[in-house]
A and B are shown apart, each in its own frame.
Chain A
């Protein structure tokens, strides 16, 4: 198990190095010089040159890459070209919206998907299964911003239970902050849970056809006992994979939902920075997201091994 963990950790480190190289050099080739963009069309060449040297853009690419990576390791992501504030601060503000929102949505999605998937699998081909499958079909097909608008219409405008948007901040207390994240989290969770429920159902149906499920029934387990004790854990591997992918998506892909609910999240930050050619912010946020995704993949790998003893003994 230790060897397996070390191996995964080593691959995590290598992925990070490769990712940082790719991000840095891809963004370098994107057209548009931040200094000339900031100073506008009528700027004098020497003003631009002065700004470039102030921003540290005049040294070689390799030096810039190394100082960027070196800074990140120490928690210093550099200074935003447009806002002239440390990127670390900008990310710090936003991540406390995006990360809890992603986790909130993922929890909701899992809480909806597991029972729905298990229920549908245990009633395969019966009306209950068809109802769940119909609902998930709808959930996959309808975009999350439409759910967002419906939620605002019903719960904010008509029932007035929630505010229609904005984030009150954690200093107002956890319940209040969570409350302002609830509608966005539901809007994000619904399509994700529909996908997850379908994966759960099909993974369970695959397992139900396995020989050891018949063995379990021959030992005297009821259908339900066999499903819960022997089926569920065996079906978890594909489900864990999807959960890992969904977390990554929820963290970075919530931009439309952030926009609908006026949430100051990472998605909006990255969108604004790209429009402003604020390359250092873009690089840093992308790097941070990549780090999170790779970390989640690592955790999912560890979860596989916790579920499956065959992975533990294999290296």
Chain B
């Protein structure tokens, strides 16, 4: 009998249909991954199982946990079920814990919610659970507060809370999306171990198909609130039927047709021994200030038309380096020269024209009260005589067409565009001054795979058309691999390895690069997979 069985689940919030006839099941000890792009209803499915839906949500259909019908339970019975029979791990470990309670209190709370225990006993159990998830008491005593832990450690605390009562079902909603690749690999291993140890069912919600292929026993693919295809992982990967599933996998292994670089000989950006310190709070009242060296004497050049990638985990100094290259923050040592001018916060405005930037978040990096036309022309304040009227309209129309939008879009407001279109607008804003170097700072990280593939194609196309050089900063190795000629690997403020992208990825020299590449989940080779299953199914 299945542990969880969702049958014909439909859900609407107000007049808006969110889920339509969703049906799937999970057996004890089984890992089922629900995947799909944003807005596909993955997370709502998870919340429906927890019965933690918004008040205005209306559901129909059945959600059976064992032989109990969850949709018919009283709130009191549901509270007894949550945390005890079903545990849940959330996406954002930085905010999922109460900042004012110790980790011990928070794990013990789950235990004491569901059984009457003396405080000491609950704390002993909490300590055991924290040790089990990799937070031993000698280094992570119960008295620690969440802000004293890293993202990965916090996610372990969240997992300890979710499994403290050894629930039958664990729901993990994008549990590793906010984490670095090496941390992600460890957390995924932990989840796999726990499923085996406790014989739990795991309902894993993720948009990352490589993670899905690596973890799941079965896959459920959702699109716009409907299950389009589901099945055993190996079988589904080998014999996917639905066009959407095929498109999704195709997009996530999308290879950009990157034109061969027409590199000039001149270095347009030259970073020499760049060093950036941040002051730390004083440890004693009158102690001298100490400093954190975020960027430690980095040197590299970018030549005309060259596409360079920069990879590294959070906190390695990528963003600090970016801000220094853009001349937003001063260096403590070394120098940065772009197009022959020294880069510094007080550099002349005109010198900034040739270097532009595209940021990560397409939702918050625009002023919502300005029309697209005005947003696009903002960089013109760098120019002595900005174009006016007809010339301006013409330029706006050109850059919008350049990024695949309509000239008439200039009259619209930013909320009228989707995430992918907004990122196109961000690229258009960067292009409008005809720069020769663009910094893409995690520019595709917030996008769904299919949109990401389109934006990457656009970037390749633009580099072909305008002979653009760019610095592509990302934590996603596969993306960097597909759009760059050369790659820099950064760790703790230093560049530990650099070289031609393909060489670095196929024969990494530095141990850190090797760790990074090994930790990154990869999609299995579908062709090989389908051959294998066919041989397996072939008559003896």
**A and B are partners in one complex rather than unrelated chains:** yes
Which A positions have Cβ atoms within 8 angstroms of B? Answer: 3, 6-7, 210-212, 214-222, 229-230, 233-234, 307-310, 313-315
Add 15 more A-B contacts to A3-B285, A212-B95, A309-B147 (CB < 8 A).
A211-B96, A212-B98, A215-B90, A218-B52, A218-B90, A220-B79, A220-B82, A220-B83, A221-B113, A229-B109, A234-B98, A234-B99, A313-B147, A314-B281, A315-B282
Whole-angstrom CA separation of A251 from B147 in the bound complex: 38
User: How distant is A237 from chain B, measured CB to nearest CB, in Å?
Assistant: 10
CA distance A215 to B162 in the complex (A): 9
List B38-85 residues whose CB lies under 8 Å from chain A. Answer: 50, 52, 75-76, 79-84
CA A215 to CA B113, docked complex, whole Å = 13
Task: Look across to chain B and name the residue whose beta carbon is closest to the beta carbon of A125.
Answer: B55
B161 touches A215 (CB 8 A): yes
Question: Chain B nearest CB: distance from A207 CB in Å?
Answer: 10
CB atoms of A309 and B110 under 8 A apart = no
Nearest CB of B to A90, in Å? 40
Smallest CB separation, B144 vs chain A (Å): 10
Which residues on the B side are within 8 Å of A3 (C-beta)?
284-285
Q: Which of B106-138 contact A (CB under 8 A)?
A: 109-110, 113-114
- Given known pairs A216-B98, A309-B99, A309-B145, the reply for A211 and B285 (CB within 8 Å) is no
Q: How many angstroms from the CA of A102 to the CA of B496 in the assembled complex?
A: 64
Chain B, residue nearest A234 (CB): B100
Chain B residues, CB < 8 A from A234 = 98-100
Q: How far is the CB of A106 from chain B (nearest CB, A)?
A: 24
B95 touches A218 (CB 8 A): no
Does chain A have a CB within 8 A of B219?
no
- Give the contacts of B257-281 with A (CB-CB under 8 A): 281
Contact B109 A210 (CB under 8 A): no
Inter-chain CA distance A308–B283, complex, in Å, is: 19
Chain A residues, Cβ within 8 Å of B283: 315
- Contact between B81 and A220, CB atoms less than 8 A apart: yes
Interfacial chain B residues near A308, Cβ < 8 Å: 99-100
Least CB distance from A182 to B in Å reads 36
Partner of A218, one of B76, B87, B97, B101: B87
B50 interface neighbour in A218, A222, A230, A307, Cβ under 8 Å: A218
Say which size band chain B's interface belongs to. Answer: 35 or more
**B residues 277-324 with Cβ under 8 Å of A?**
281-285
Whether B83 and A218, one on each chain, are in contact in the complex, defined by CB atoms closer than 8 angstroms, is yes
CA distance A315 to B147 in the complex (A): 14
Given contacts A6-B285, A308-B100, A310-B145, contact A222 B92 (CB under 8 A): no
How many interface contacts (CB-CB < 8 Å) are there between A and B?
A: 81
Min CB gap B355→A, angstroms: 35
- Cα separation A315 to B290 with both chains bound (whole Å): 14
Shortest Cβ distance from A275 into chain B, in angstroms? 46
Best-surrounded residue of A214, A218, A234, A307 (most CB of chain B within 10 A): A218
Interchain CA distance A219-B157 in the complex, whole Å: 13
Contacts of B343 on A, CB cut-off 8 Å? none
Known contacts A212-B98, A313-B148; decide if A219 and B113 are in contact (CB<8 Å): yes
Residues of B within 8 A of A219 (CB): 82-83, 109-110, 113, 161
User: Which of A3, A217, A308, A314 has the most B CB atoms < 10 Å from its CB?
Assistant: A217
List, in ascending order, chain B residues with CB within 8 A of A233's CB: 100
- B88: interface (CB < 8 Å): yes
- B158 close to A (CB within 8 Å): yes
Is the Cβ of B95 less than 8 Å from the Cβ of A7? no
Interfacial chain A residues near B83, Cβ < 8 Å: 218-220
Given contacts A6-B285, A7-B285, contact A218 B162 (CB under 8 A): yes
Asked if residues A315 and B281 are in contact (CB atoms below 8 Å), the reply is yes
Given A210-B95, A211-B96, A222 contacting B162 (CB threshold 8 A): no
Shortest A224–chain B CB gap in Å is 10
From B283, which residue of chain A is reached at the shortest CB distance? A315
**Which residue of chain B is the closest to A10 with respect to CB atoms?**
B285
Measured CB to CB, the closest approach of chain A to B278, in angstroms, equals: 15
A222, B99: Cβ atoms under 8 Å? no
B7-23 vs A, Cβ < 8 Å mask (1 yes, 0 no): 00000000000000000
Give the docked Cα–Cα distance between A90 and B276 (Å): 60
11 contacts between A and B (CB under 8 A): A6-B285, A215-B90, A215-B158, A215-B161, A216-B109, A218-B88, A220-B113, A221-B109, A229-B109, A234-B99, A309-B100
Residues of A within 8 Å of B80, CB to CB, are 220
Q: How far is the CB of A213 from chain B (nearest CB, A)?
A: 8
For residue A118, give the distance in angstroms from its CB to the closest CB of chain B: 17
Q: Which of B75, B82, B84, B87 has the most CB of A within 10 A?
A: B82
User: Given A7-B285, A234-B99, A217–B75 Cβ distance below 8 Å?
Assistant: no
Min CB distance A219 to B, Å, is 4
In the bound complex, CA of A259 to CA of B233 (Å): 81
Q: Mark B419-435, 1 if CB is under 8 A from A, else 0.
A: 00000000000000000
Q: Are A211 and B92 in contact (CB under 8 A)?
A: yes
> Does A212 lie within 8 Å of B97, measured CB to CB?
yes
Chain B stretch 135-162: residues in CB contact (< 8 A) with chain A: 145, 147-148, 158, 161-162
Chain A residues lying within 8 Å of B148, measured Cβ to Cβ, are 313
How far apart sit A216 and B281, CA to CA, in the bound complex (Å)?
33
For B82, give its contact among A210, A217, A230 (CB under 8 Å).
A217
- Note all chain B residues with C-beta closer than 8 A to A309: 99-100, 145, 147
Contacts of A315 in B (CB 8 A): 281-283
> Is the pair B285, A222 in contact by a Cβ cutoff of 8 Å?
no
Chain B residues with CB under 8 Å of A218's CB are 50, 52, 82-83, 87-88, 90, 162
- Complex alpha-carbon distance, A234 and B76, angstroms: 25
Nearest-Cβ distance from residue B77 to partner chain A, whole angstroms:
11
List the A side residues contacting B76 at CB < 8 Å.
222
Return the chain B residue nearest A310 by Cβ.
Answer: B147
